[in-house]
Amino acid sequence: MNIVVAVLLVMMMIIMTRKYKKDVNDKKQARSCVFDECDSLLQQPLASLDKANLPVLYGSYGGFQVHLSVVEDTLGWRKIPPLWLLVKVIANNPSHGTLDFIARPANNEFYSPSWQWDGSMAIPAAWPQHAILKYLKQPVDLALLDNDVPELFADTKMKELLVTPVMTRLTYMIKQGERGEYLLMRNAVYNNSPVSKDVVESLLKKAVAIRRNMESAVI
C-alpha cells in the first residue's frame, strides 16, 4: 500500500509540475505578443519588459513620447482578472494640477497613485457618477475635460483617467482571464491574441488630445 501511495504522489507531482510549466509558457506567450500590432503606430518604437516581466512599448506619437504597458489585476476576489492597458503620454511642457478619475471603483486599484491622495472633488453632472474623483495639492480645471470625460467613459472598458503636470494616462481593459482556469486553479491566464491596433490608436489619439489641451491652457 505504501508503494502505491508513493507512486500516486510521484505521479501527482509530475502532473502538477507539467501543469505549472504549461501555465508559465502560456502566460509568457500571452504577454509577449500583446503589442505585436502596435509597432507601426509609433515612431522609433522600442520594446522592453518591466519588473514583472510584462511588455512595455516606448515610442513617440503625435509629437509626444508615449509608453504602452499592461497590468495584470488579480486582487479582486471572485472576479475574473482583467488585463489593463496603460496608455501614458509624457508632457512636453508641465501643466497645472492633478486629477485621477476612476470609474466603478473597487478599492483595489493598486495601479493608481490616488490612494495616497487626500483631495476629493464632486463629480460634474455630465460625467459618470459611479466613480471617484481625486486630486493632489491642486486640482485640474475640470472645464478642460468636460468634452472628453463623458465620451471616454461611455466605453465601459475605460477604467481611469490620470492627469499630472508631467503626464496623462488612460487605463483600459483589453482582456479578461479565462474563466474556467481562474475558477478552478486561480490562475490568471489570458488568450495570446495581440491587442487591437485600432483600439490602441484610438486611445493614443484621445490621450494626446487631452495632454495637448492641458498644456495649451498654461499661460
> Which residue spans within the chain are E strands per DSSP?
43-49, 55-61, 64-72, 82-90, 99-103, 119-120, 131-135, 158-164, 167-176
pLDDT per position in the chain (219 positions), as tens? Answer: 567 666 666 667 666 555 545 554 555 555 567 899 999 999 999 999 888 788 999 999 999 999 999 988 766 555 667 889 999 999 999 999 999 999 999 888 889 999 889 899 999 999 999 999 999 999 999 999 999 999 999 999 999 999 999 999 999 998 875 544 554 444 555 667 889 999 999 999 999 999 999 999 986
Residue 97 DSSP one-character state: -
In a domain, 17, yes or no: no
Q: Cβ(149)–Cβ(123) under 8 Å?
A: no
Coil, strand or helix at 139: strand
Is 16 within the bounds of a domain?
A: no
Q: Provide the domain limits for residue 173.
A: 33-216
The verdict on residue 171 lying in a domain is: yes
**Contact call for residues 113 and 134 (beta carbons, < 8 A):** no
- What is the structure's pLDDT at 151? 95
* Cβ atoms within 10 Å, residue 16: 10
Which pLDDT score is estimated for 188?
55
The rounded distance, in Å, linking the Cα atoms of 98 and 216 is 16
Residue 199 lies in a domain: yes
Coil, helix or strand at residue 33: coil
- Note whether residue 173 is domain-resident: yes
Q: Which of 161, 143, 162, 160 is nearest to 213 (CA)?
A: 143
Residue 3 included in any domain = no
**Residue at 85 is within a domain:** yes
Count structural domains, the chain.
1
Q: How far apart are the first and last CA of the chain?
A: 83
Q: What gap in Å lies between CA 18 and CA 152, rounded to an integer?
A: 43
